[in-house]
Chains A and B, each alone.
Chain A
Amino acid sequence: MTLTPYTKTLSAEDAAHVLRRTAFGATDAQIRALVGRRAADVAREALAFDQSLAPASPFDPATGATPGAMIQLTRAAWLYELTYGPHPLREKLALMWSNHFVIGTDKVRNQSALAGYLKVLRQHAATPDFTRLALAVAQTPAMLRYLDNDQNRKGKPNENFSRELMELFTTGIGHYTEQDVREGARALSGWTFTGGRGNKNFLEPQVFTFTARQHDAGRKTYLGRSGNLSPEDIVRIAATHPQTAVFVARKLHRAFLADTPDERAVQGSAETWRRTDGDVNAVLTELLSSAEFYASRARIIRSPVEFVVGALRTMGQPKLEPKALLNLTQTAGRMGQLLLQPDNVKGWDGGREWINDSTLLLRLQVAAALTLGKAAPTLDTAPSDLALLGSDRAPAALKSLNARQRTYLALVSPEFQLA
């Protein structure tokens, strides 16, 4: 069964819901502007983003004095884009893909590699062809380095990328054999990059290259296909495998519908995926204009980055000092989500995994810093209940507090922490 279109025009609560999911949240005025619109139009417009970036970002990773400083600036520049950029849905998708095609700054410490990786995620954020996204990511020096395919040479296979390509990026576990892992590694040999090696060359450009003499050109059998398979063939076969539709559709549902997705709805999206040959844009358009989407309020626990960016966007994107934004990227890390550095190659599990005693304490501290602290942005008018809580029915506990206190408590309420 495919998803059911949502045919009613948007109510205020519908509008708040769609902006919480596609824009990390919004101000009262931004929400009210969508009331009465059709869900399909809202979805199409949100997905029609271009590649323009927030003007005047104070962060330029190329000015980093050390690899560590460069990485911090890269993270802060991303947080800036997430918070102030013109296309929050593009950034939300880039964040989701960075949690699917995982790399980590523990190994990737080159500026051009990180910039190139982010650029690919943004360019293909709502790709009409998943295979193109998979190929583009697989050829980034960031991925080649992170999963060691730059070490994968003829007669000297390194299986790391070959395994994770299937287990984590395409089919999911249970749909391939150890033999597929080995044969895939043989076929992927020769894909590497030039430049930027060594700690001192963290600003030197890294460029993808295919070294034919390091490629195993022999016959391989991979996921049931045989021949002199090239690296491109391997990515294409894995990306177009029927199970990939289900595996990646489930990720989309976890990002946009619910931490615990409804499997029938996932199958619906997978059906659309197969019918359109992996057109992620079509799958997302259908998903964001579906009755299932509008019926799924408060079923996603905001991640640390979504919590921080959501608070700032709900507060009307107040200007923060660059230092404050740098600190917020580190704090999001202590809450469990350091940008470009998930705990491991599987990425952040999300959902209830974001919540434990220590991370809850930090959420309270961050909310206090943004509303009550000395350096807190000015709050002339507090965000409305609709903006903060997704509905106009605020709990009685919030009445009789001043604007700052009210905003603070709303930010730490279960209602704000859910999207």
Chain B
Amino acid sequence: MTDRRDFLKLSALAVAATSGMPGFLARAAAQAGGTKTLVVIQLTGGNDGLNTLIPYSNGAYYAARPTIAIPKKDVLTLTGDLGMHPALKPLMPLWDGGTFAWMENVGYPNPNRSHFASMAIWHTADPAQAQADGWIGRIAQTIGDPFCASNIGASTPQALRAADFSLPSIDGVDSFQLRLPQGLNTPFSQLLESPRSGEAAYLVQATQQMMKNTARVQENVKKYRAGATYPDTKFAGQLRDTARLIAAGVGQRVLYVSLGSFDTHAGQRAEQDELLSDLAGGLAAFHSDLERQGLADDVIVMGFSEFGRRVAENDSAGTDHGQGSVMFALGRGVRGGIHGSSPDLEDLADGDIRYRQDFRGVYASALTRWLGLDARVILNGDFTGPAWVA
């Protein structure tokens, strides 16, 4: 923890010395000292919830999907009515151990079938899309630490946009380091010093922040010793980097990883099967890694997608954009099981399921019960949801 305190002192100093730093960065980090980490997984493109958590006892499900339904014999049984897609088999031990949760039938009012509008709603936690910053950006503002949340990947999602600054994106822990050619350190610093405005000032600020962030990660990341073998996929590699950052103890409270592309308009079975298999393999390895590192008590994972798909399959053996879907969570801090009731497949809204749980209620539990933050401030309202955080 010494490292952590030194870093905060350091960044407070640096902030004081830099004019034009956004206010929230200067508010320093009295509240940043929590030890719990939330890992958010985004399934990009609209994952088909009905073929993920399958209502296998429901005839209406099979009637709506003659080609792409998961046959009952292939379903991994969870309850008398629900089971998982067979590609999720690596997650069965977690389910059996009571550390895997499904949130049924999650959505938001006046659903939007545009990928981008819907994604923005999940990212801003604002169905009116009046807010441009993201809910995780607002966590960073509340905590007052520019390094308390990071995206693992190449481009920063809107969820991590703060009022004045984007939070870090780390596309590979190993390459996350700055090595300037000999003799250029001083000229480079001088180059950044001259006063600028507009986008030039933004670029200077981003570069200075990057220099601090990379230095911090490289100092600490060697502490990690792998506790599991990860599958050879990009997603699993990103989860491995996530575990490395958590093990490094650099103080990140939220880490964000995306897996795409779930936009299965045609030939859905092949595409979604492969994606779900990638998802499950990566998450199972991540969880055993954390177990062996002794970090499993401190990390939970929460996953979402911007919408589910139409209940009925289309004629290209795929599905078009729908409304609500499932969310999932895992970790020792999670209360395993099914939270909420399954959609009524005979009472549809425009061919889609009618959502019953607002996703902001699911976020609220993570914020209050896991991260110890005031969810009302971050979500701009009082939302209750399932008690999925133990």
Residues of A contacting B202 in the complex (Cβ-Cβ under 8 angstroms) = 352, 355
Beyond A355-B206, A409-B191, is A158–B315 a contact (Cβ under 8 Å)?
yes
Contact A353 B155 (CB under 8 A): yes
Please pick, from A157, A345, A357, A417, the residue contacting B203 in the complex, using a CB distance under 8 A.
A417
Q: List, sorted by A's number, 20 A–B pairs whose CB atoms are closer than 8 Å.
A: A148-B318, A156-B316, A159-B320, A173-B117, A178-B350, A299-B199, A300-B199, A343-B155, A343-B260, A344-B45, A344-B261, A355-B206, A356-B155, A356-B210, A359-B155, A361-B176, A397-B194, A398-B187, A417-B203, A418-B199
Also in contact, A395 and B194, with CB within 8 A (given A173-B114, A173-B117): yes
Interface assignment of A56: CB less than 8 Å from any CB of chain B = no
Q: Is B265 an interface residue (CB 8 A)?
A: yes
* Complex contacts, A158 vs chain B, CB 8 Å: 265-266, 314-316, 318, 320
The answer to whether A344 and B155 touch across the interface, beta carbons within 8 angstroms, is no
Smallest Cβ-Cβ distance to B310: which chain A residue = A159
Instruction: Give the residues in chain B near A160, CB-CB below 8 Å.
Output: 265, 320
Partner of B115 from A345, A405, A412 at Cβ < 8 Å: A345
Residues of B within 8 A of A405 (CB): 181, 183-184, 187
Known pairs A298-B198, A360-B210, A361-B214; A334 contacts B316 (CB<8 A): no
Interface check B156, CB cutoff 8 A: yes
Closest 5 interchain pairs by CB? A156-B315, A397-B190, A358-B171, A356-B169, A414-B203
In chain B, residues 204-246, which have Cβ atoms closer than 8 Å to a Cβ of chain A?
204, 206-207, 209-210, 213-214
Q: Is the CB of A358 within 8 A of B200?
A: no
Contact A356 B206, beta carbon cutoff 8 Å: yes
**Pairwise interchain contact B113-A178, C-beta atoms closer than 8 A:** yes
Please tell me if the beta carbons of A163 and B113 are within 8 angstroms of each other in the complex.
yes
How distant is B122 from chain A, measured CB to nearest CB, in Å? Answer: 15
- What is the minimal beta-carbon distance from A90 to any residue of chain B, in angstroms? 26
Is residue A301 contacting chain B, with contact meaning CB distance below 8 A?
yes
Q: Assess whether B293 is interfacial by the CB under 8 Å rule.
A: no
Name the residue on B nearest A153 (C-beta): B315
Complex CA–CA separation, A361 to B321 (angstroms): 37
Which residues of A sit under 8 angstroms from B172, Cβ to Cβ? Answer: 358
Contact with B along A339-375 (1 / 0, CB 8 A): 0000111100000110111111100100010001000
Taking a contact as CB atoms closer than 8 A, the residue among A300, A335, A352, A408 that contacts B166 in the complex is A352
From residue A102, how far is it (CB to closest CB) to chain B in Å? 12
Partner of B181, one of A106, A372, A398, A414: A372
Q: A155-B315, A158-B314 are in contact. List 15 more A-B contacts (CB 8 A).
A: A151-B266, A153-B315, A159-B321, A300-B199, A301-B203, A334-B154, A344-B45, A356-B169, A356-B206, A356-B210, A358-B169, A395-B194, A397-B193, A398-B191, A409-B187
Decide yes or no: A163 and B321 within 8 Å by CB, A158-B265, A409-B188 being known contacts: yes
Instruction: Specify which chain B residues have a CB less than 8 angstroms from the CB of A343 in the assembled complex.
Output: 155, 260
Size category of the binding interface on chain B = 35 or more
B168 at the interface (CB under 8 A from A): yes
> B4 at interface (Cβ–Cβ under 8 A)?
no
**B152-175 to A contact mask, C-beta < 8 Å, 1/0:** 001110000000001011111001
Contact of A361 among B178, B209, B314 (CB under 8 A): B178
Using known A-B contacts A178-B350, A356-B166, A408-B184, determine if residue A361 contacts B175 with beta carbons closer than 8 Å: yes
Task: Write the A103-122 contact mask toward B (1 if CB under 8 angstroms, else 0).
Answer: 00010000000000000000
Contact status B196-A414, CB under 8 Å: yes
A151: chain B residues within 8 A (beta carbon): 265-266, 315-316
Q: A151-B316, A357-B169 are in contact. Are A418 and B200 (CB under 8 A)?
A: yes
**B343 → A minimal CB distance (Å):** 19
Contact B156 A353 (CB under 8 A): yes
Closest to B183 in A: A405
Interchain CB contact under 8 A, B154 and A344: no
Minimum CB distance partner of B188 in chain A: A409
Tell me the bound Cα distance from A360 to B209 in angstroms. 11
A65 sits at the interface (CB 8 A): no
B44 within 8 A of A: yes
0/1 string, B254-296, CB within 8 A of A gives 1: 0000001100011000000000000000000000000000000
The interface residues of chain B lying within 8 Å CB-to-CB of A300 are 199
Chain A residues within 8 Å of B171, by CB: 334, 358-359
Q: Is A415 close to B, CB under 8 A?
A: yes
* Chain A residues, CB < 8 A from B199: 259, 298-301, 352, 414, 418
CB distance from B321 to the nearest CB of A (A): 7
Residue of B nearest to A405 (CB): B184
1/0 per residue B139-161: CB within 8 Å of A?
Answer: 00000000000010011100000
Judging by beta carbons under 8 Å apart, are A157 and B314 in contact?
yes
* Complex Cα spacing A300 to B210, Å: 20
Write out the residue numbers on chain A whose beta carbons fall within 8 Å of the beta carbon of B116: 167, 173, 346
Smallest CB separation, A398 vs chain B (Å): 7
| A346 / chain B contacts, CB cutoff of 8 Å | 115-116
User: What residues on B are CB-neighbors of A372 within 8 Å?
Assistant: 181
Let me know if B114 and A156 touch, CB within 8 A: no
In the bound assembly, the distance between CA atoms of A300 and B316 in angstroms comes to 41
Q: Is the CB of A408 within 8 A of B206?
A: no
In contact, B210 and A401 (Cβ under 8 angstroms):
no
The answer for the CA separation of A415 and B202 in the assembled complex, in Å, is 11
- Residues on A with beta carbons closer than 8 Å to the beta carbon of B314: 156-159
Q: Which residues of B contact A173 (CB under 8 A)?
A: 114, 116-117
How far does the Cβ of B67 sit from chain A's closest Cβ, in whole Å?
Answer: 12
How near does chain A come to B18, taking the closest CB pair, in angstroms?
15
Give the distance to chain B from A188, nearest Cβ to Cβ, in Å.
14
Q: Which B residues are in CB contact (< 8 Å) with A153?
A: 315
Bound state CA distance, A343 and B316, in angstroms? 23
Q: Is the CB of A364 within 8 A of B154?
A: no
Taking the complex as formed, is A231 at the interface, i.e. its CB lies under 8 A from any CB of chain B? no
Min CB gap B172→A, angstroms: 7
Chain A residue at smallest Cβ distance from B187 = A397
Distance to closest chain B CB from A199 (angstroms): 13
Q: Within the complex, what minimum Cβ distance (angstroms) separates A417 from chain B?
A: 6
Are B154 and A358 neighbours in the complex by a CB distance under 8 Å?
Answer: yes
Which residues on B sit within 8 Å (CB–CB) of A178? 113, 350
Contact of B156 among A156, A356, A408 (CB under 8 A): A356
Interface string of A137-160 (1 = CB under 8 A from B): 000000000001001010111111
